[in-house]
Structure formats: structure tokens, C-alpha cells
């Protein structure tokens, strides 16, 4: 076997490098959260500016998500052809272009066009960033490292909630009715544009920093650039032995002579893992998380009785709870495992949605309703948020990771769009308002969460602590001479 003669820096230096590389890649998640969250506050105002109908409002909000769907599908080709790194750079450029264009839009058509371009960037980043991190991270800390991507998504949501809150006027408690009316007029005429332009700064930073991170060793090996792969492994592992073992496993995984054929989507067991990835993606979206994040300000404004500017303030609670519980997930996902976290958090989501539905149905909205929403958000941040992204980034074998993950992520965006587009229609329907007093969407979401719990409990195996190459054996059942995480990282 080819050896790695390069001396490696001390373990602490390697870890700092991995964390720095992960932080840069995770900025794709921050922009994912920022781009997605900025629509929640701004749509309160551009809906009035453009005089949108409920259907047009749903299209304005969900249009970016259709871009995300095609971006995710396209990234399956791009991450393989031009690399995970250059796919992220292209996504950063699209983020920047979308933020500028959305802010200058003078019609619904222009706004939708630029939102779709931003969606392409989000779709590419949502697939390429977790994949990039998973291929760089040590096996025993991969869950935590990929969860940093979800943390960045959540930070993006929280930061954009802060930005839209302060751009929208901040605390209105001491304002007179006339001052509040003037502020609202400003937000309808111009404030929403500033909210959308605020994404330019993080998008620019992401674009520049990506030029300083390496390609992943697995992509380099796939392209036959073995010497470059060795150099990267030497920088991100704790010594020559660990680097050599990981190099050998990657080389074996890509070998077309192992068992006389490479792993493909047609390989025994791989169809099931693709089905599992698709279902995890669907469950994450039909849980209702993005309906509440996209329309949170409107939910607080209409269902819970807050004024538009005060509703922006309530969104800060969503962002803060989301952030806090994502930290809990980061520090437990590699200890407790993916499956226990998923089941625990999804159970909490069912409770939060059920209580919210009850307060709406019984017309007893208030503090309990707000707490129920926060329980739902916190439970999602503990479970479906990080766990689904971690598993999508780690479950697919090297040979098919790009195409399989792009399919799973594209399905996720498809159902994201379906939920975002249908929520205002279902929420405003006569059936919901007259028979359920506004509770119907949340009852549907709760039912979907129950189905997700049963699916994961019965069909999804635990994957913590395994190398990406070991995962291949888990699904196919074929024996291969891959080293375990314990062999590669005995002291970690």
C-alpha cells in the first residue's frame, strides 16, 4: 500500500485545523438559516407592499425552496465533478446575488426570480456543507462536527431574527400609536428591503473564506489525486498511523476490484439506505418546523394576537430556544447516539404541537400557546434538526454519496416547498377556521411526528462511532477489510 511519509503536527494543532475548516463550511448552514429566516420577518411587509393574495404569499415564500430543490439535485453532479469545495463557493456567490436582487425587486416576479437564485445556493450548500464536514471529521466526533452545521443554521435563524427585529424598529413598547403606524409604513415601504440586504455581509464572508479550506481527501481520492489526499489527511489526523489507516480504507472503498464490482445504487442493501434517507428528509419537513419558522411572525401576529412589530420580538424566543437546544444536541449526539435523540425530541415535538392545537381549538391562546411553540422548537433542535443532517451526511457509501445525498436532500426541499406553500392555504381554509378554530395544521404535523417516531424506532439502526467506510458494510452486509473507528482513533 502507498504510505504517508509526511510528519504531522501535534494533535491539538490538527484539531484546531479541523474546527477551523468545519467552521468555514458550516457558514453555509448559517446562510441557509439566514436566507430561510429572513423571509419570516420580511414577508409581513412585502406581502402588503405588493398586495399579495394568500396564494401569491405562499409562492413568494416557497419560491426559494423550489430553487433549493434544483440546487440540491444539481449539487449531486457538482460535488462530484468540481468538488465539494467549489460547489460551496458557487453557492456563496448565489447567496450574495440573491440578497442584493431581492432587496431591489419592484415586482413579485423579480422578487421570486432572485429568491429562486438564492434557493439554488441554499440547495447546493445544504447538501455540500454537511458532506464536506463529514468527510473531514474524525469518526468518533463526526456527529458533533456535522451538528455544527445545524448549529450554524440555527445561529443564522437567530441572527436574522435579531436583524429583522431591530431593522423593523426594535422595542415598540414606549411608542405612541402614531409612531407605531409611521414605523409600520416605513417597514412596508423600505424596511423589508433592508432586511433582505442584511444577508450581503455573511454571504461575502463565506465566499472569501472558502478559498482557504482544502478539498476533502475522499473527493481527491475519487479523482485519483492521491498525493494531495495524503497531504490533507496528514493535516487533519493525529499522526502518520491514523492518516495511513484512513487512507487505506478510502482507497479500498473506491476500489473497483473489491468483490469484483463497486458499490452502486443497485447494490444489495443500498436501495434501503436511500429509502431511509428519503424518509428521514420527508419526516423532517412534514413535522411543520419550517411552517412555524417561515410564518412564525404571522402566527404570533394573527393566532396569538400580537401586533406585527411585537411579533418580530416573539420570534427572538424561537431563535433563542432553537439555539440553546442545538447545543444540547451537539454535546450528546456522539454519546447518546442518533436514534435515542431522535425519539426523545420527536416525542417532545408531538407534545408541543398537541398543546398548541388544543389552545387554538379551545380559543385559549396566550402564554401556554407560546410555551407550546417553544417546546416544539426546542425538541426539534434536540432531534430532527441535527440528527437528520448527520445521518444524511454519513449513511451513504463513498461511491454513491454525491448522488444519493442529492436525492435525499432534494426530496427534503420538495416537501419543504409543499409545506410552505400549503400552510397559508390550509391555515386560512374554512374547514380549519370553522371546524378546528385554526388548530388543523398543527394536528396534521403532530400526526406526522408520531409516524416518524415509529419509523425510526422500527427501521433505523444506530450509526454512531462508525467510520464512513464501515457504514458501507452496515448496509450491504458484505465483509471488507475496513478498520474500525477504535483502530483508527484508539485514544480519542
Per residue in 388-439, pLDDT tens?
988 988 888 877 888 888 999 899 988 987 887 788 788 888 999 899 988 9
**216 φ/ψ angles, rounded to the nearest 5 degrees:** -75, 145
Q: Would you tell me how many other CB atoms lie within 10 Å of the CB of residue 330? A: 18
Q: Say whether pLDDT at 348 is over 80.
A: yes
Distances (CA, A) of 457 to 330, 337, 343, 395, 491: 21, 13, 7, 17, 32
pLDDT at 1: 47
Confidence of residue 33 (pLDDT cuts 50, 70, 90): confident
Contact 468, 263 (CB under 8 A): no
Q: What angle do CA 279, 131, 89 make, to 5 degrees?
A: 125
CA–CA distance, 445 with 350 (Å, rounded to integer)? 8
387 closest CA partner among 460, 447, 290, 484: 460
Q: Would you tell me how many other CB atoms lie within 10 Å of the CB of residue 129? A: 33
Contact 162, 317 (CB under 8 A): no
Residue of higher predicted confidence among 93 and 265 = 93
Confidence of residue 52 (pLDDT cuts 50, 70, 90): confident
State mean pLDDT over 304-316: 58
Identify the sign of the CA torsion 390, 393, 398, 400.
positive
Domains and CATH numbers, the chain: 11-488 (1.20.1250.20)
Residue 205, burial from CB neighbour count under 10 angstroms (0-12, 13-18, 19+): middle
Q: Which residues contact 69 (CB under 8 A, 6 or more apart)?
A: 119, 123, 410, 413, 414, 417
Q: Say whether pLDDT at 62 is over 80.
A: no
pLDDT at 35: 86
CA–CA distance, 246 with 138 (Å, rounded to integer)? 10
Distances (CA, A) of 296 to 113, 257, 301, 309: 24, 53, 8, 12
Q: Would you tell me how many other CB atoms lie within 10 Å of the CB of residue 117? A: 21
pLDDT at 482: 53
CA–CA distance, 374 with 386 (Å, rounded to integer)? 17
Q: Say whether pLDDT at 446 is over 90.
A: yes
- Cell 420580511 sits on residue: 42
Amino acid at each position: 500500500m502507498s504510505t504517508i511519509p509526511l510528519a504531522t503536527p501535534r494533535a491539538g494543532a490538527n484539531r484546531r485545523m479541523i474546527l477551523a475548516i468545519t467552521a468555514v463550511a458550516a457558514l453555509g448552514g448559517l446562510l441557509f438559516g439566514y436566507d430561510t429566516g429572513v423571509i419570516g420577518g420580511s414577508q409581513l411587509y412585502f406581502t402588503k407592499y405588493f398586495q399579495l393574495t394568500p396564494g401569491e404569499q405562499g409562492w413568494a415564500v416557497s419560491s426559494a425552496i423550489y430553487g433549493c430543490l434544483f440546487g440540491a439535485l444539481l449539487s449531486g453532479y457538482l460535488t462530484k465533478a468540481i468538488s465539494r469545495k467549489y460547489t460551496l463557493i458557487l453557492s456563496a456567490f448565489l447567496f450574495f446575488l440573491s440578497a442584493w436582487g431581492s432587496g431591489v425587486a419592484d415586482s413579485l416576479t423579480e422578487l421570486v426570480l432572485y429568491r429562486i437564485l438564492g434557493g439554488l445556493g441554499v440547495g447546493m450548500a445544504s447538501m455540500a456543507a454537511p458532506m464536506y464536514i463529514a468527510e473531514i471529521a474524525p469518526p468518533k466526533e463526526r456527529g458533533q462536527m456535522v451538528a455544527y452545521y445545524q448549529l450554524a443554521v440555527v445561529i443564522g435563524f437567530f441572527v436574522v431574527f435579531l436583524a429583522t427585529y431591530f431593522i423593523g424598529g426594535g422595542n415598540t413598547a414606549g411608542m405612541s400609536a402614531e409612531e407605531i403606524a409611521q414605523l409600520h409604513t416605513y417597514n412596508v415601504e423600505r424596511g423589508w428591503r433592508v432586511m433582505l440586504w442584511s444577508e450581503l455581509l455573511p454571504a461575502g464572508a463565506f465566499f472569501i473564506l472558502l478559498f482557504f479550506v482544502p478539498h476533502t481527501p475522499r473527493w481527491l481520492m475519487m479523482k485519483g489525486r492521491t498525493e494531495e489526499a495524503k497531504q490533507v489527511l496528514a493535516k487533519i489526523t493525529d499522526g502518520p498511523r491514523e492518516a495511513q489507516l484512513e487512507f487505506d480504507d478510502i482507497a479500498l472503498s473506491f476500489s473497483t476490484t473489491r468483490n469484483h464490482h463497486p458499490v452502486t445504487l443497485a447494490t444489495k442493501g443500498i436501495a434501503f439506505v436511500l429509502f431511509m434517507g428519503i424518509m428521514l428528509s420527508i419526516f423532517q419537513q412534514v413535522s411543520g418546523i419550517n411552517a412555524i419558522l417561515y410564518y412564525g411572525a404571522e402566527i404570533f401576529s394573527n393566532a396569538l394576537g400580537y401586533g406585527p412589530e411585537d411579533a418580530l420580538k416573539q420570534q427572538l424566543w424561537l431563535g433563542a430556544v432553537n439555539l440553546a437546544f442545538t447545543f444540547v444536541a451537539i454535546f450528546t449526539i456522539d454519546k447518546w447516539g442518533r436514534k435515542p435523540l431522535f425519539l426523545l425530541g420527536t416525542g417532545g415535538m408531538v407534545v408541543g404541537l398537541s398543546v398548541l392545537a388544543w389552545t387554538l381549538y379551545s380559543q385559549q391562546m396566550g402564554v401556554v400557546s407560546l410555551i407550546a411553540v417553544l417546546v416544539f422548537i426546542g425538541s426539534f433542535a434536540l432531534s430532527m434538526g441535527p440528527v437528520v443532517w448527520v445521518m444524511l451526511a454519513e449513511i451513504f457509501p463513498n461511491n454513491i454519496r454525491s448522488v444519493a445525498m442529492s436525492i435525499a436532500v432534494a426530496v427534503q426541499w420538495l416537501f419543504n416547498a409543499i409545506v410552505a406553500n400549503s400552510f397559508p392555504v390550509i391555515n386560512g381554509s374554512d374547514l380549519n377556521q370553522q371546524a378546528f378554530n385554526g388548530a388543523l395544521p398543527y394536528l396534521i404535523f403532530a400526526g406526522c411526528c408520531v409516524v416518524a417516531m415509529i419509523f425510526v424506532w422500527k427501521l433505523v439502526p444506530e450509526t454512531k462511532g462508525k467510520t464512513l467506510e464501515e457504514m458501507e458494510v452496515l448496509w450491504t452486509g458484505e465483509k471488507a477489510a475496513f478498520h474500525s473507528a477504535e483502530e483508527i482513533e484508539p485514544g480519542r
